[in-house]
Each structure stands twice: as structure tokens, then as C-alpha cells.
Structure 1
Amino acid sequence: MKNTLLILCCFFTLSTFAQFFEGKKEMKRNDGFIPFYYNEKTDEIFLEITKLDTEILYVNALSEGVGSNDIGLDRGQLGSGVVVKFKKAGNKLLLIQPNQNFRAVTDNIEEKQSVKEAFAKSVLHGFKIVEEKNNRYLINATSFFVRDAHGVANRLASNNQGNYRLDKSKSAFYIDRTKAFPKNVEFDVMLTFSGKPKGYNIRSVTPNASLVTVHQHHSFVELPDDKYKPRVYDPRCGSWQMTYLDYATPVDQSIRKRYIYRHRLEKKNPKAKISEAVEPIIYYLDRGTPEPVRSALLEGGRWWNQAFEAIGYKNAFQLKMLPEDADPLDVRYNVIQWVHRSTRGWSYGGNISDPRTGEILKGHVSLGSLRIRQDFLIAQALQAPYTNGNVDDKFALEMALARIRQLSAHEIGHTLGFAHNFAASTNNRSSVMDYPHPKLQLKNGKVDFSNAYDDKIGAWDKITVAYAYQDFPNQEKEGLAKILKEASDKGLRFISDADARPKGSAHAYAHLWDNGKSASEELNNVLAIRKKAIEDFSADNIKTNEPYSVLEDVFVPLYFFHRYQTDATSKLIGGLDYTYAIKGQKDVIVEKIKGATERQALKALLKTIDVKEIAIPKRLLKLFPPRAYGYGRTRESFKSKTGVAFDSYGAVQTNVAFTLSYLLHPERVNRIIQHYSIDNSQLSLQEILDKLIEVSVQKSYQDSYYKSLNTIVSKEIILNLFYLHNSSIYFEGKAIVNEKINTIKSYLESNKNTVNNEFLVLINDFKKNPSKYSKKSVVLKMPDGSPIGSK
């Protein structure tokens, strides 16, 4: 009897959980987090949904990209990660994305419901139920996956590359990367977009620009348990923030909740001073990364463990090679991916996080494979290595690899939850989250590369790791406050993107690609290095049998070597020192930069428009012939107004326009006017303009080459004054600018010659019709520098 009952129970169980498509050999079942079936004959995928109204994570990404930096559709590019759930509605299952931005964190069900009903949700897709068995639902998910989830067509259109549409007849599932695991399922689809190409960029990276084929990846992932504890955000902590509005908040508290993004990390032994982690944070490097880059990336990325050791963790951060059978887009792996593009471009670090809490589930770094070549080129330009047929350029490779180590640490830092710190360079390179310029110096008449880049994690990085990942068995609030106070006591600064990137930005110590506690002193140093390297520049800066067009390309980063330090120095003028201040701290809230410091900065900046400083030596002009056949100009070449010939005038004009775009930025000018009205010891707009006129219009040269270049400089200054007068500067500023234009006019009238007469015609035309000069003068575009893009 017992055996009969056992047989009946087994039969009943098998019948209850009988699979869909039983007996259909063309249907291949894949068991995992969400079981799915694949029909090879029809190229269809069916999902078996067993849990309704259960929140899961949905992620889309590009597994195979376009390969153009400018278009920006890279291999491994992550899309959004959103919380979704399946809900039955009649004969359909709806995939619904709840609204995570507006919540009521309370036990009051009615209060939660009132917020839920107040704001819109999004239904991402509707699936017709194909079959139902015992509360299990079979749906055909093919149309959900075979679609442009990543927005490829929109990206191509917005970049003026053409209008494309998805061609489903040329699209199919890519089963090799479609897999099921216990906590996630991964689907990969080859999508072809057909259209009429318009832009050069899409034509340059496709075999047939009318048919653009990429791979898009979809993931459904189990969300983590509720044991993760969010950590409160502080504007001084150096982490990114996630926010939402909590309508259950008492009136005397802020309704906006702010938390940081971070991985889950816990000590095995919370009471131990040093302990291993319950689950260490492990990152994996793309196996397609070649040596010696591979070793450099591994070494630089592992620097982060220094910061975790400092807060009592042993081997909590690890970096390994990606297993051979692992997919870089598998959410279980934090990955550093080696990304190829047709041109040099940025690298970036992102992550997939739990939108409910900010817990990072997957870190994903994309490193542009061509970036290393720019540092190699800079080193090659600064020290002619190829004398007498020599081919030893190991010093250049070492500098480039040193930069790659820092880049690895930098981008991993983003995936750990950390923001840029563009003030770190003024704090003795206190963070890898800054953008570093090679730190060089002249020793015995030669450029010394030994300290070009740092070789360790910075003091600020240890602060950010401590704030985000330090264990606090109790009194977390007090512990976090102590960490930030210690950072303040050490004089560490944190200033991020919005205060550093704009040309008119005010912060005097937040810059990209700069060095030095004093920006103006470092500009003088950079100019001295540049001058020495230009004096030594020759055909020995390229290898034997290379075209002289390559020599011109090597000269580009040398000629503009000072560009980023110029940017940094300009911010001292009309500049401010401030922190992300909170009430109760003792740090600086906001202070003006002293007039003496401003004048030192102006003195250094004037060198960057000094003809003798920026003129390309005549002897070098003999080394830059028209471009060799097959070696045309690129985005990283000097531009020319002289056709095929090298344009030395254009290079000078571009250089001058660059400096003036920072120094005479309307926002900066308005601050200069305000600061001087409050304190007459500050640098005034009158003084700045007088100095500009003195080194240009009122300067004379006997040498005809210098004389012509000075005309270029003078005209650029005059046109910038016209533009400034028409810009959004205060009325007082317009009056000062007009006065200085009149000063120039009087000088030209008393020193008439052919050129000065033309300047007078220009000024008189401005007087008659000032609005005609409301736009900046058109100059040749500066070749792209080290950081193409802005990541």
C-alpha cells in the first residue's frame, strides 16, 4: 500500500510540474533563474514565468559594438539596470517597471499605496500567454528581445550618421551567449539596422554602411536579499549618490533621501582588527588584453587593495583574469574590458546597481585600447630617441605603461562608486580619481620621466574607501563624521566635475590634466620643458624610414603640451577656493584667490601668447612637408589654411585663441569685476586688458616672421574684445572693454602702417555694427589631446 501511495505521489508530482512542449524535439529547454525554451527552426525564445509580482532586475547592454569613439556604441557598453516584475492581466503577462523615484518608506500600507498611485509606472512589454500549467505561464519573448532596447538607431540619428531601422529579417538570436544560471539568465541577439548612411564615422567602421550589425544583450537577474544596509551620502565623501523622495518622512526632515553606491562588503570577524571579507570584491580582466598592457592593468587595479587593507580588510579587493568560459556581460562578474575603436577615445567605468538601495551588483570598466599610444607619442616628442638609427624607446613605453596602471585604478574606482576628484593634483597627487598629466622636470638639460605618474593609491582614495566600506558594528554616523574630519585635518580637497570642467569654472584648485600645488608655477615648468623639447626636436623624433608626416604628428602633442596647465592657471584669475561645505565644519566655505596669486597666473599665461614662446622655429618648418600619400590629416593633426602645406600661422592662432577662451571667458570676467569692486587689491579687468594690449598690439618685432605672427596674435585679441563686449558681461565690463578698444584705436592712429590701417578699418566697422561681432572668431580646431571625450 505504501509503495502504491509513493508511486501515486511521484506520478502526481510529475504531472503537476510537467514541462511545456513535452515531446517536441525542436524545443530545447534551459533551466535557470527563469527557465526558457529555444526553437531553432523558428528562432524563437519562450520564457517560463513561475513568480508573478516578484521584483527582479532587467539589464540591457551591447555585447558587440560599432567601434567608433564619436558614435559611442562600444563593445560591452552597459545600458540601464531597472527593477521589473511580471504581472498577469487577462490573457497577458505585463512586464512592469515600478517607479523607484517616489516612495513611502513606512509600514502603513495605505500610505505606500497612495504614493504608488500618485506617480506613473512603465509597462515595458506585454506578452500573450501561450500556455498555463499550475500557475506557471509560458510566454513568447522573441519580440521583447529582438528589438532595439539599447537605442542604437536613435544614437546613429542623433550623431547625424543616418536614419536606420531594425531589419528583423537580418536579425537572430546568438545562442552561444544565451545561457541560464541559477540567479540570472542571459540572452544575446544579433541585430541588423538598415538605412542610408550620412556621416563619415559610420562609414569608417562598417564594411557596408547601409547595414549596421551589432549584438545586444539582455539579462534577468535575481535581486539581492534585504540584508544590505544603505550608507548615507555626504557631499564631502567622494562617492556618487542615489536619491529618491520618501513621502513618509516627518515634516522637520528632508524628503529627499541620499545614499551612496557601493558593493556589499562585510568582515568574517567584525570584532577583529584585520579580517577577511565574507565575500571579497573580485574584478576580472578581459582575456583579450595583450601584454605588457595586461600586467600593467592588473598591477594598477590591485592598488585598491591598499585602501581596503587600511580599513582592516585582508584581500578584500582582488583582480584576476576572466575565466575562459565566462561572458564579460554576465552580471556575476565585475569586469575590466579591453575595447577597440577605430580612433583613440576615452575609457570609462560604470556599474549595475540595485535601484532600490544603491548596492553595486556588477562593476564594468571599458578601457580604450588606443589610449596607451598617446602617452607613448608624448614621450617620443619630448625626447628625440632615434639618433643614428637607434630604436630603443623603452623609456616611452615605460611612461605609457605607468599611465595605464593609473588608468586601471581610476576606472575601477568609478565602478566602486567613486566620483572624480579634480582637486587631487594640488594635494600631492592624493587620488587616482583625478585626471593625471605626466609630471616631468628638467634635469641636467634633459627631460626626466622618472616621476611621470604615481605608483600607488592616494591619501584621498583611502578616505573614500573608508567612508564607503569601513565596518561600523555601532555608531556608524559618528564613525563617518570622524573619517571626513580626518580628511579635512589633513588638508585633503575634494572637488568634482561640475566645478572643474566648464571653461568659466571658478574653483582655483580643480582642474583636469594638470599638476602642482601652484598652477602658475607648474605652467612655467611645463613651458620650460616644452621649450627645451622644441629646441631639441628633429628628424630623430621618428624612426628611420618613417615619412616626415609622422614627424609632424609627433610634434602636435609637444606644441600643445601646455594646454591643460593653461586651463588650470586661468582658473586662478577671478578664482575661488571653496569646499562642499556643511554647517558645523571648520573648513573653508568660500574665499577669493589673492590678487598677488592672480598676477602670477597672468604673468605665466601671457607667455602662452608670446610670439617668441609659441612661434614654431623656422628650421622645423623645413621638416614638415605636405602630407605623404596615404598619410592624410586626422583629428589629431595640425589643421591648415594653406591647403596641403603646413600652416605655422594657423597653429599660433589656434594656440592664442585657446588661452583667450579661458582668460576672457564672460563668467570669469564678471567675477573679476565683482572681486575688484569689493577689494581693490584684486586683479582688475583693466589691468588684464592693458597687459594683453602691451604684449600684442603695442609690441614690435624686427624679424618679419615674428612680426607677421604678432599680427595674428593682435587680431585675435582685438576680435576677442569685440566678442566680450557683446557677451553677457556686466555693463561695467562692457564700458571697460570699450575703453580698451579705444585705447588700441588711439595707438594705431598714432602708429600708422599697412597692418595698423587694416586694424583701424576693423575697429571702425565694429563701432558701426557691434552685433556683427557677437560670435567668437573662427580659428582652426585644436587637434585632440590626451583625453578625447570627457569620461
Structure 2
Amino acid sequence: MRKSILLLLLLPLFTTAQKLPSIEEKTNGLKKYEGYFNFYWDENTGKVWLEVDKLETEFLYVVSLPAGLGSNDIGLDRGLLGEDRVVKFNKVGRKILLIQPNYSYRALSNDAAEKRAVEQAFAQTTVWGFTTEAESNGKFLVDATDFLMRDAMKVSNSIRRMRQGNYVLDKTRSAMYLARTKNFPLNSELEVTVTYTNSDGEVGNFVQSVAPSTEAITLRIHHSLVQLPDNNYKPRLFDPRSSFIPVSFYDYASPVSDPIEKQYIIRHRLKKKDPSAAKSEAVKPIIYYLDNGTPEPIRSALLDGGKWWNQAFEAAGYTNAFDVRILPDSADPMDIRYNMINWVHRSTRGWSYGASVVDPRTGEIIKGQVSLGSLRVRQDYLIFSGLLSPYETGIPANDKMLQAALARLRQLSAHEIGHTIGLMHNYAASVSNRASVMDYPHPTIRVNAAGEMDFSSVYDDKIGDWDKVAVTWGYRDFPAGTNEKTALNTIITEANKKGLQFISDRDARAPGGLHPQAHLWDNGANAADELKEVMKVRSKALQQFGEKNIVPGMPMAMLEDALVPVYFYHRYQIEAATKLVGGMYYNYALRGDGQLITKMLSKEEQRKALNAIVDCIDPKVLMIPDRIAALIPPRPSGYGSSRELFRKRTGLSFDQLSPAETGADLPFSFLFNSERLSRMVQQEVNGGLGVAEMIQVLIDKTWKAPRRTGMEALIQQQTEQVLLTYLLAASVDENNSFLVRAVLQKALSDLKKQIDLQLKTATGITAGHLQLALERMKNPKDAKPTLHKEAPPGAPIGCEE
């Protein structure tokens, strides 16, 4: 009996220890894909078997989205890259783990113990666990099906985060996508069709607008297993003046006197065939491929703009080192070997962007991936149509709108490729004769001496001078014996002497913008001067606006679509001008490099900008003429409203006051930013423009200005209430300093005295207007700025509402 019990206890051990089948036996009859990692397709079970023959060997693992959702707001675009990771297989018994080492923390040392101490101090990630099912000669076969069919792109999270539904992966409706499953010597590419089902029935509008049925969403996820580059690439240290994007990590082997955080720039590998030559061909040129689904004439425009970068590489000492070609029909755009420019369709217009697959160990770019939103060109066409009023009898033979839109696409192609070769935005380029395609360019249009719109220089047609400097700094291959640090510093300092600047995102996008020469979608060496030029274009466009802004046969209500971008044509230049108020010049200066560090704008510069801004809130400027309003009826059946139109308080009829309210709100929202006000209080003691003086200028232009009549009177009173909203809210905003709030309290007290005096003789709606203001002054905490009718999107619609 005891022997029987012992046998039963040992039986599981004998079973576990049984010899596994060979890989040849296990995969007999299956389709084999030979390449970097061999894998096998089982038609009967729908499984993929992966052959692991490289243990403890690091490789690159990248996931991407070759077939997207089509909603810009949710952001799951075709061509979207997921996280790129360095990983390795680790075997423990029959278990094979896919491990991601932690390259954010390292020890750049030859001492194995020192390196091990850092590795053990910080967590790694186990991406997946497999079980060995067959073995042959040091190779191990695992079932990779569940690994491939998981939610590797976090689609469920993206949809849930936008409150569009509780979608979860349904494996019963998911399968391999064999048409895009391939294998190559240096990379294995596997693709799956994945379906997500809605578990609670509630679905948001973004999903409803793109999915054929909201019960399920089917997308595709692509997995790339890629051999890492060799060790012959030399990283280049990051310089904050260079405009290159860094990768950073902590090096715990650094001497105590050195910074522990290290940064390399990201860039493609590029070497001269002859480093000693002033100009040389590259050992391997950088080639980008344009989506072969891109139509003409867009295709040619994108090719032309992308090829501009060869001008920069020529300046860096290379010959024919950069090119853009059409993707061959036989190539897979998700193949890690191809730098891609994707033409991406969405249900709404949205951002274009450039991303890269980067080796986090060194910063070397493995693959550039550009996504260009196809609907943006239509918005540009609409803007130019609104400015030109071109439709006398239909689309003119000389289609200026199309030519301008294509010029914009050339610049867009160059811009997004620029990110994928390693470059940040440069928003200070517009003040230096369009020195960089990495700026966001507003169309440069003028009203000429004949009073006509001049489109002769709407966008640039070449790479910029700063771009040549940046590529030279990042990619120049120096001859042996060169002191690289000195040579790189010389490139930057010489550029600065020529007046070329680099200021990037944080400085340009901050709501309380500080740098007077860094802004998105602006033009001109001086923002205030350019604002006056932009207002001339806007005025001319409104003067000629009418039936000819839409083609014959189109509903008259569609005039509103063309009117919106014309009315708000100045929106970005006015924001740029506000940065001169309380602004400060500065650079990303290093100690000893000779650059300007900081310099406050003079009071005269700030006053000039403020005066240009207040001119834009004149009731005559804010008013949409009666003749235009009379041309826009309610939208007909079959034509819905959208966020691209003016917000209304008047129901179906056109609202003349709402656009004017938004037009006044825009400059106030920037001028009354708490950071700006706090700076102005401090700058005033050093001769700068103070908050009290700014408020007095605004009150003189509004509450103390001569009274208007008709619709202009209504707009004047509305603007005064909008200004009062900002004064009240700022006076009790604890983000403002005590001194700022003190100045505002005094201004409100003075304004109340003025309103009390005016009310003694006021009648009708004017009396009501003044009484409303006094009533609102009793409860300043109830004032909510920027709750007025918001402007429709100007820039491409982002991922958040």
C-alpha cells in the first residue's frame, strides 16, 4: 500500500520531467516563416508558434497600429506608433520570460559589479511569459498567439479615457492578419486583427461617427521584433541650443562632480564615405517613403517638400544623403526598415505629427514615421477661399486657393519629417525671415498698393537657414583629429551671431507667454506691426465677403463655414502680440557662450503692442456687417451644425453678437493671465508697463469711449461686460499676487465710481447695462472668465475638447 501511495506522489514529477517533442515534430505540417525569429502558422488552430533561439540577447520590440479608428479626437490613427522597447528572452525551466531592462538608469562602466548594482536597484518589466512546448538544439518553441492578440496598443484605455465607451478585447473575434505577417533576416513582422466589444452599451459621439456599428470595433495591431543596431554608432551629446530632441537617462557611474543625468540627441545614423572631404556621399543615405495611397497633386507636393531636407544635408557636407520616394507596392509601410510618410484619413481634421522608433540606449533613430492628416488641406483651401471670394461662376481656372494649399503641404511635409530626423519645433524662426520649417507658419498674405490680396509669398519654398545649422550640428561627420565639442559649439555661436534663434514648445505654448518672438502661427519681425498687416487682410476679406465665397448651387447657409476663418483670421497674431506685454527677451544661453541671457521689453514696446491689441476690440472691427449676416440663413435639412461654426445664443438664426463676444474675449484671456500680471507688477518698478496702466488703457477704450449706435452699441456694451468679467475674476484669483489683486481692486473701485456717475443720466438699455455691471461687482467670485462663446477651432482639432 505504501509503495502505491509513493508511486502516486512521484507520478506528477515523472510527467513533468518527460522529454518535450522536437520543434520539427511539433511543427510538422505547419507553414514556416524563416527570418530573424522563425515562426510557424497553424491553419487548423489559428495559432502562431514562435521559435526562440536567442536567449539573453537584446532586440527591439515595437507595436503599431496599421489600421486605425479614424477619429482624431480619440487618437488611434492608422500608422500610430506604440512604445518601442529593448527586450530580451530569459529562460527559467519551461518558462520563457520577455524582459524589458530599465535603460532609464544605468552605469556606463566596465565594472560588472557596478553595473549590476544599478540593474538591481531599479525595476525591470516582464512584458510576457511563455511556456516552452518543444525544443531542438538550444531552440525553444512557444505559443505566441495570446501575446500577439492582446491589447498591446492600449486601445481600450484610449477609448475609455475619452469617455467614448467601455470597449474590451474580444479574442473570439480576433485573428492573425497573414497579409501583413512576414519575416526577414533582421526583423520579424507579425500582424493581428483585433476586435473590441462594448460591454455596457454606452457609446460616445466620436465612436458613433466612425464605426459602422458601435457594438464592435475592429482594428489591426502590428508587432515588430527587430535586431538592434551594431555598436558602431557614436551618440552625440545633447546641447539645449541645438534644437535636437534628447533621450535622457541617469548614469550612476558618473563622477560626483558631473551631472548624473545624461542626454543624447536622437538622429539617424549617417556617415560620409570620405570624412576628410568637404562634401561626400553618405555610406548609407536616409530614404523616406511616401504612402502610395496619396493622390495627386498632393503626392507631388509632399515629395517636393520632403526633399527640401537634402538642402540641409548638403550644407552639412553630404551629397545626395537624403531622399523621398514613393513606397513600392511590394513594401509594407509598417515594416521597421522603411521610414514612412503616411497620408492619414480621419472623420475630422486634426494634427499631423512626426514620430520615431529610437534605440533608447544611444538615441539612434531606427525608423521615422510621419502621419499627415488628409483633411487639413481642405481647411487651408477653405481659408484661402474665404480671403479671396473667388467663385464668380465656379472654381476659377487659376486656382490660387489650391496653389496656396499645396504650398502649405510642402511646408507641412518638411516640418513633420524634421521631427523624425530629430528636430524640435523652433517657434522663433518667423522673426528671422522664415529661418526654419520647424515653426508653425501662418500664411503671409498682404494687401498690395492696388488694394488686392497678394498671395505671391504665402509660404516658403525651401529649407530654412536655421534648419541648415541644426542639421549641420547634429549630422556633420568630422574628420579624424577634430575637437568635436569645440567644432559643435562654433556652429551654434556662429549661427547666433547671424541673428538665428531657437525657442521651442514650452516657451511658445505657455498661456502666459513670455518670449516676444516665439509663437505658433505668427509672422513678422515684430508681432505688433504684423498684427496691423493681418488686420488689413482681414478687413479686405470682410469687405468683399459675399455670395462669391461659395460655389454656385451650394446652400447659402454654408457661407458661415467660409466666414469663421476669415473673422478669426487674426487670432494667432493677436495672441503673439500679447506676449510683448510683460514680455522678456531671452535665449537658452550657456555660461560663457556670449548669448543674450535676459532683457525686459521697454515700456514703449509694450505700449505699442497694447495699443495694437485694443484696436482689435473696437466695435466696428468686431462687428460682422449686417449685409453679411443677412446672407446666412439657418442650415437646411441634411446639413448639421458643428464645432467649426460660430457658437450661437439665437437658436437657428445667425448670431451677430456671439462672434464679437468671442473676438473680445480672446485678447482679454491672454492679457489677464495671472503669470503675465505678476510679471508686470514686478517689471513696473524697473520701468516696465504696469498692470494699472494696462487696465486704464482697456477701460479708456471701452467704458470711457464715446458711445456707439445700432449694433455697434450692443457690441460695445457686450465688450465692456466681458472686460468686467476679467477684472472681477482676477481681483479675487489667488493665483495672482497680493499686489496684482490690490491694483485690480483699486481699478474696480474707480470704475464703480464712474458707472455710478453715468447711471444718473442713463436711460433704456444703457441704464440696464450699467445696473448689471454694478450688480455683478457685488459678487466678484461669480465672474467666470472664458465662459463666453468660445471660438471654433483654428489650429487642427486636438485630442481634447
TM interval, shorter chain, is over 0.9
How far is 1:18 from its partner?
7.5
- Cα deviation per residue 1:272-307 (whole Å; 9 max; x = unaligned)? 221110000000000000000000000000000001
- Counterpart among 493, 498, 501 of residue 501 in structure 2: 493
Contact 1:391–1:543 (8 Å) recurs in 2: no
Of 62, 67, 79, the match for 2:65:
62
Match 2:785 to one of 765, 773, 776: 776
Task: Quote the Cα distance in structure 2 between the aligned partners of 1:777 and 1:356.
Answer: 45
Cα pair distance change 1:430/1:264, threshold 3 Å? same
How far did 1:535 drift? Answer: 0.6
- Matched to 1:156, the amino acid is I
Question: Residue 387 of structure 1: SS of its match in structure 2?
Answer: coil
Shift of residue 684 of structure 1?
1.5
Q: Which residue of 1 aligns with 2:5?
A: none
Give, in angstroms, the shift of residue 594 of structure 1.
1.0
- Show the counterpart of 1:188: 191
- Distance change (3 Å), C-alpha of 1:619 and 1:31: same
Q: Distance in 1 between matches of 2:25 and 2:328?
A: 34
1:669 aligns with 2:669: no
Match of 1:89 among 92, 96, 119: 92
Checking the alignment, whether the CA contact within 8 Å between 1:503 and 1:665 is kept in structure 2 is: yes
Give the drift of 1:384.
1.3
Partner Cα distance (1:640, 1:630) in 2: 19
* 1:259-270 to 2 correspondences below 5 Å: 259-270=264-275
Amino acid at match of 2:471: V
1:36-47 → structure 2 map (5 Å cutoff): 36-47=39-50
The count of residues paired between Structure 1 and Structure 2 equals 772
Which amino acid counterpart does residue 770 of structure 1 have in structure 2? P
Name the residue aligned to 1:3: none
Return the TM-score normalized by structure 1: 0.96
**Paired residue secondary structure (1:290):** coil
Matching of residue 744 in structure 1 with residue 751 in structure 2? yes
Partner of 2:360: 355
Are the equivalent residues in 2 in contact too, given 1:67–1:341 (CA < 8 A)? yes
Question: Letter of the aligned partner of 2:714 in structure 1?
Answer: S
What amino acid is aligned across from residue 479 of structure 1 in structure 2?
A
Secondary structure of the 2:654 match is coil
Q: Taking structure 1 as reference, are residues 461 and 748 closer, same or farther at Cα in structure 2, changes over 3 Å only?
A: same
Partner secondary structure for residue 166 of structure 2: strand
Question: What's the Cα RMSD here?
Answer: 1.6
Alignment equivalent of 1:121, drawn from 121, 124, 133: 124
For 1:789, the equivalent position in structure 2 comes to: 798
Counterpart CA distance in 1 for 2:421 and 2:750 is 56
Shift of 1:557: 0.4
Partner of 2:379: 374
Moved more, 272-281 or 562-571: 272-281
Report the residue type matching 1:706 in the other structure: E
Instruction: Give the Å deviation of 1:269.
Output: 1.3
TM superposition shift of 1:758: 4.0
- Read off the aligned partner of 2:211 and give its amino acid letter: T
Q: Which runs of structure 2 are paired with 1:721-732 in the superposition (5 Å)?
A: 721-727=727-733, 728-732=735-739
Q: Structure 1 CA distance, aligned partners of 2:299 and 2:786?
A: 45
User: Out of 231, 236, 240, which is 1:226 matched to?
Assistant: 231
Q: Does 1:318 align with 2:323?
A: yes
Structure 1 partner of 2:726: 720
Query: How do 1:442-457 and structure 2 match up within 5 A?
Result: 442-443=447-448, 444-457=450-463
Q: Which amino acid aligns with 2:593?
A: Q
**Match in the other structure for 2:7:** none
2:728–2:781 Cα contact (<8 Å) kept: no
The alpha carbon displacement at 1:393 in A equals 5.5
1:772-791 residue CA offsets vs partner (Å, 9 max, x unmatched): 33x32521121111433389
Q: Distance in 1 between matches of 2:726 and 2:53?
A: 68
Q: Secondary structure at the match of 1:741?
A: helix
The partner residue of 2:418 within 408, 413, 416 is 413
Q: Name the CA distance, whole Å, in 1 between partners of 2:440 and 2:638.
A: 34
The residue aligned with 1:613 is 621
- The one-letter code matched in structure 1 to 2:77 is D
Pairing 1:395-414 to 2, within 5 Å after superposition: 395-414=400-419
Supply the AA of the counterpart residue of 1:471: D
CA distance in 2, matches of 1:218, 1:51: 18
Alignment pair present for 1:477 and 2:485: yes
Deviation at 1:23, TM superposition (A): 7.2
The worse-fitting range, judged by mean Cα deviation, of 285-294 and 692-701 is 692-701
| Kept in 1: contact 2:538–2:569 (CA 8 A) | yes
Give, in angstroms, the shift of residue 678 of structure 1: 2.3
- 2:549 is matched with which residue? 541
SS in 1 for 2:188: strand
Residue 139 of structure 2 corresponds to 136
Residue deviations 1:636-676 (CA, integer Å, cap 9, x gap): 11111111011110000011111111111111111111100
Q: Deviations over 1:299-331 (max 9, x none)?
A: 000000001111211100011111111111100
Encode CA deviations 1:160-191: one digit per residue, 9 max, x unaligned: 00111101111111000011000000111111
Measured at CA, do residues 197 and 217 of structure 1 come closer, stay the same or move farther in structure 2, by a change above 3 Å?
A: farther
Answering whether residue 676 of structure 2 is matched by residue 678 of structure 1, we say no
- The offset of 1:505, in angstroms, is 1.8
Bigger mean CA offset, 269-278 vs 566-575? 269-278
- Match of 2:703, SS state, is coil
Q: For 1:706 and 1:763, how far apart are their aligned partners in 2?
A: 19
Gaps of 5+ in 2: 1-20
SS in 2 for 1:623: coil
Check 1:390–1:396 CA distance in 2 against 1; reply closer, same or farther (3 A cut).
Answer: closer
> Alignment partner for residue 290 of structure 1, among 278, 295, 308?
295
Change (3 A) 1:634 1:767: closer
Kindly indicate whether the alpha-carbon contact (under 8 Å) linking 1:463 and 1:487 is maintained by their aligned counterparts in 2: yes
Partner of 2:209, secondary structure, is: helix
Secondary structure, aligned partner of 2:195: strand
Give the counterpart letter for 2:128 in structure 1.
Answer: H
In structure 2, what is the Cα distance between the partners aligned to 1:702 and 1:69?
A: 44
> Which whole-Å CA distance do the structure 2 matches of 1:726 and 1:744 have between them?
16
Give the deviation of 1:560 after TM superposition: 0.1
Give secondary structure in 2 for the equivalent of 1:787. Answer: coil
Equivalent position of 1:572 in the other structure: 580
Matched, 1:177 2:180: yes
Q: Given residue 727 of structure 2, which amino acid in structure 1 is its aligned partner?
A: L
1:385 matched residue in structure 2: 390
Q: For the residues of structure 1 that align with 2:755 and 2:340, how far apart are their CA atoms?
A: 64
1:430-475 deviations in Å (ceiling 9; x for gaps): 0000000000111110110110000000010001101110011231
1:12 alignment partner in structure 2: none
Could you list the runs of 5+ residues in structure 1 that have no partner in the other structure?
A: 1-16
- Give CA deviations for 1:352-398 in whole Å, capped at 9, x if unaligned: 01111000000000000011111111111111111245643510000
- Secondary structure in structure 2 of the residue aligned to 1:58: strand
Report the secondary structure of 1:63's partner residue. Answer: strand
Partner Cα distance (1:520, 1:313) in 2: 40
The match for 1:112 among 115, 118, 134 is: 115
Matches of 2:393 and 2:212, distance apart in 1 = 42
Give 3-state SS (helix, strand or coil) of 1:20's partner: helix
Question: Does the 8 A contact of 1:700 with 1:707 survive in 2?
Answer: no
Between stretches 534-543 and 391-400, larger displacement belongs to: 391-400
CA distance in 2, matches of 1:380, 1:766: 43
> Which residue among 584, 589, 596 is the counterpart of 1:588?
596
**Percent identity (aligned):** 46
Distance 1:694 1:618 in 2: 27
- Per the alignment, residue 561 of structure 1 pairs with 569
8 Å contact 1:167–1:191 — kept in the other structure?
Answer: yes
What displacement does 1:198 show?
2.6
Does the 8 Å CA contact 1:425/1:515 hold for their aligned counterparts? yes
Aligned-partner Cα distance in 2 for 1:223–1:530: 54
Structure 1 counterpart of 2:740: 733
